Structure formats: C-alpha cells, structure tokens
C-alpha cells in the first residue's frame, strides 16, 4: 500500500478487535484491515495505535476560552469535575496515529520477568538475534542510507564504526515539546544490542549525549538536563539505538524499570571496564520483562527453571 494513500484509506479501516487499551497513556491499539487503495475490497492486515496528543503550553492562553462545550460532572467543597470538548483546530490535532501495514497476527501480551545470564545470552539470545531476518529492519537501513527521512535528520556523525544519526522518533508529533521524542541510531551494523557495547564505544555514547544537549538547546531552547536518554533491553529491533525523550514525559512504558537503561549509567559501567578482557555487558546478568508473544519467551521461560539462586 502506498503511504501517500493512507490519509484517504484510514477512514475505511475495518476493526477486528482491540488489542490493548491503556488509560494511562490514553492509547488504543487496534487490529483490523486497511484497503490497498480507497474504496477497494482488497485489504491488508494492519495494527493501528491511536493516542491522544499531549497538550502544549503554547495554547494555554486560549485553551479554555475556546472550548466548544463544557459539562459539569460533579462538585464538592472546593473541587469540581467537568467534561469538555476542544474546538477543532489545524494547529492542535487531538490524536496521533501510528500504522503497521501489512502486519502479522498480533495479540495482547502478558509479561513475565526473566533473568538473562551471560550463559543464557550465548546459548539462547545471541543465536536468536543472529537469525533475525534483516528485512525486518530494512526501514532502519533506509533511514541510515538517506533513502527515507533524510529531511528529518538533526545531526549525523558519518564515521563507519562510531557514527550515528539523530532524528525525531515516529512516536513524536513533531510539535509538542512536552512529549519530545528523538532517537539516535548508530551506523554500525555490528552493535545489535546493549550486550555488544564495549569500552571503545564510550566516546560514541558521550558524543550522542553531547550532541543531544546541543540540539535541544539550539533548536528548542531547552536547557541541559531536559531530556532522558535510555536504551532498551530487549530492544524492539536489533540495531543499536538510544531513545531521547523530554525528562518530564511519562507517556511511554518503555522508559520504566525492567526495560530501560539510562545512557549515563551505561557510560559509567563501561568506564569500569578494563582495557582488555570481557566487557561488563558480557559479564552482567540482565533482568527484564518479556512478553509472551516474543520469540524468546518460550526458551527463556524454560531456562529460568535451571537458574541457581
């Protein structure tokens, strides 16, 4: 399906079921079908994430005065509860939509906590990553090569071994600073995950931190300390990248304990590494949440029974 046709076809989405409802992030995840072209009977499976956009302080002065309708729910003493509807505005969209199409079968996941020892990484996780189909992350290679999203790149270090790019993440609406979300993606294909980091990568990680601080200060007048930089393990795709979000943004579950590792902590740990010998990330036991639809779920769950306390 052509991406240019999505604005026309999305209203013809056929819902099969709701995969997830998150009242904290105000997000629905829907499974259904999108037509290949407008008004076509031929449709492809699609996963659609719909979430309320963040309210920007830029509209604070006229936000309440322009409400289209206000309804009182209840009140007591000094407290009142109301429902209200925003006036439609081109400058203030109310929802953000992310689409995966065509999508494979997907169900809501239940999560368990697993411990991944260095031995389990070598026996189970490393072969799993090595067998991961490259075409699943072709979109990453397209970004790195400049084939897609070249106009969005905020910074690029062209070094083959230690270079990276910084650009807005697709989860950001590109407007609301309170929900700012950028991503730094390394150029090297040899760094698949946190486990592949070595002492020699410290300068690259420091550069990501430094350039992030410069970019947000120059482009959005945000001071140092305004962003939270972290790395997922397990990541959503096996090409090393760093998430960069507004420090006050709490709308992503991926920044919680059990998946996110702060970039500052990663750098500090690597600084403890000897000049030679195994990296600390080769020696650590990592504990994280694993969904029951993840390819590692079954082998890692079985392996937990053999771990020694």
Dump pLDDT digits (tens) for 124-149.
999 999 998 888 899 999 999 999 99
- Answer with the residue of higher pLDDT: 87 or 206: 206
Final residue before a domain boundary, out of 75, 98, 121: 98
Residue 302 annotated in ligand binding: no
Residue 233 annotated in ligand binding: yes
Counted residue by residue, the chain has a size of 309
Please tell me whether residues 113 and 254 are part of one structural domain: yes
Annotated catalytic residue within 26, 49, 201, 241: 241
Please tell me whether residues 147 and 264 are part of one structural domain: yes
* Confidence category of residue 4, pLDDT binned at 50, 70, 90: low
* Confidence category of residue 292, pLDDT binned at 50, 70, 90: confident
Residue 153 annotated in ligand binding: no
pLDDT, one tens digit per residue, over 18-76 is: 877 776 677 788 888 888 777 777 888 888 888 887 777 777 887 888 888 888 888 88
Residue 133 lies in a domain: yes
* Confidence category of residue 2, pLDDT binned at 50, 70, 90: low
Residue 49 annotated in ligand binding: no
Residue 279 annotated in ligand binding: no
For residues 88-110, average pLDDT: 75
Please tell me whether residues 44 and 131 are part of one structural domain: no
Please tell me whether residues 273 and 150 are part of one structural domain: yes
Give the pLDDT confidence score for residue 158 in this predicted structure: 95
* Confidence category of residue 255, pLDDT binned at 50, 70, 90: low
Q: Is 49 annotated in the active site?
A: no
Q: Which domain holds residue 37?
A: 3-98
């Amino acid at each position: 399906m052509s991406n240019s046709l999505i604005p026309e076809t999305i209203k013809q989405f056929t819902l099969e079921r709701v995969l997830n409802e998150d009242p904290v992030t105000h997000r629905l995840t829907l499974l259904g079908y999108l037509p290949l072209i407008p008004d076509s009977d031929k449709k492809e499976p699609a996963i659609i994430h719909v979430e309320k956009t963040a309210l920007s302080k830029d509209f604070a002065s006229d936000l309440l005065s322009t409400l289209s309708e206000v309804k009182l729910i209840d009140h007591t003493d000094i407290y009142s509860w109301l429902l209200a509807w925003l006036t439609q505005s081109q400058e203030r969209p109310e929802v953000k939509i992310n689409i995966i199409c065509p999508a494979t079968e997907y169900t809501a996941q239940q999560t368990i906590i697993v411990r991944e020892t260095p031995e389990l990484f070598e026996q189970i996780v490393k072969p799993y990553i090595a067998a991961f189909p490259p075409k699943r992350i072709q979109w990453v290679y397209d970004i790195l090569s400049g084939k897609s999203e070249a106009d969005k790149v905020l910074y690029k270090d062209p070094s083959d071994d230690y270079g990276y790019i910084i650009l807005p993440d697709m989860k950001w609406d590109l407007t609301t600073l309170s929900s700012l979300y950028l991503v730094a993606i390394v150029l090297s294909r040899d760094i698949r995950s946190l486990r592949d980091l070595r002492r020699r990568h410290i300068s690259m990680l420091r550069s990501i931190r430094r350039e992030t601080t410069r970019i947000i200060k120059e482009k959005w007048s945000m001071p140092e300390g305004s962003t939270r930089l972290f790395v997922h393990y397990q990541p959503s795709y096996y090409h090393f990248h760093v998430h960069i979000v507004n420090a006050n943004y709490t709308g992503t579950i991926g920044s919680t304990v059990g998946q996110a590792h702060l970039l500052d902590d990663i750098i500090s740990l690597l600084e403890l590494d000897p000049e030679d010998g195994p990296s600390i990330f080769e020696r650590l036991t990592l504990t994280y949440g694993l969904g029951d639809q993840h390819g590692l779920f079954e082998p890692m769950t079985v392996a937990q029974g053999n771990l020694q306390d």
